[in-house]
Amino acid sequence: MSIVLKIGGNELDTPGFIDELAEIVKKIAPIVLVHGGGREISSTQEKFGVNPVYVDGLRVTDGHSMWIVEMVLCGSINPRIVRRFQMGGVEAQGLNGSDRGLLRAKKLEHPKGDLGRVGEVTAVRAEILHDLLAQGVTPVIAPICLGDDGAFNVNGDYAAGAIAKALNAEKAIFISNVPGVLQDGQIIPTLTPALAAELIASGVIQKGMIPKVETALEVVKSGVAQVVITNLAGVAAGTGTAVVNQ
């Protein structure tokens, strides 16, 4: 069974991260890699005079911002990862959700207002990924998705979850800068919805880990067996916090 690995923009900015990731991917393949790029998108928005705006962690994406998001994810970050993977001995192919209609999406209706070109995945052409994996190819996916009226920007964690579900993947792994969800400096091995709510309320889970855990819970709720939150060393060692639905 395959593994879906999600990396974010913060990790991509770490020197040597992609090369180290390539070494790990060679050992745990077959995997599907989904990447974000939030920090680089935000800095590019600012260069074009656009102030990044978020609602519940989702980037409000008007027409101009959609152009920037697509340019950064598909034109800069995706080929950068593929290039480093190939140089590191990983057979990789860059894709975004529009390629062959890999990821279909519709507009995400948010209770707090219009987010513009922000979407949610409605369909995954899993056979495309199965074929690549069978050939020993690592798909590297930018979460720009195809809608009926153009492209949508989809949260990378949710895109990874949708792909994991469509592939019937063994698990999804969310890469963080810590080895898992921690309590008193120790990794919490398993996290259920009830325990997560308790630890958020008590302040054990806080700051940036809260949306990561909440997203993982949404992914397992959709049918994925588990989401592991860990760092690169944890991926290599098979450790981290396994978020499960029950």
Every domain of the chain and the residues it spans: 3-173, 176-226+237-246
Lowest mean pLDDT among 11-15, 44-48, 105-109, 119-123: 11-15
pLDDT at 211: 81
pLDDT at 71 exceeding the cut of 90:
yes
> What does the pLDDT average to over 95-118?
95
Give the CATH number of domain 3-173.
3.40.1160.10
Q: Answer for the pair 209, 10: CB distance below 8 angstroms, yes or no.
A: no
pLDDT at 19: 95
The strand ranges marked E within 62-157 are: 92-96, 103-107, 119-124, 138-142, 144-147, 150-153
Q: Residue 32 belongs to what H/E stretch?
A: strand 31-35
pLDDT at 57: 80
Mean of the per-residue pLDDT values of the chain: 94
Which tens digit of pLDDT belongs to each residue from 209-233? 888 898 899 889 988 999 999 999 9
The strand ranges marked E within 110-200 are: 119-124, 138-142, 144-147, 150-153, 171-175, 182-183, 186-187, 190-191
Q: Give 14's pLDDT tier (boundaries 50, 70, 90).
A: confident
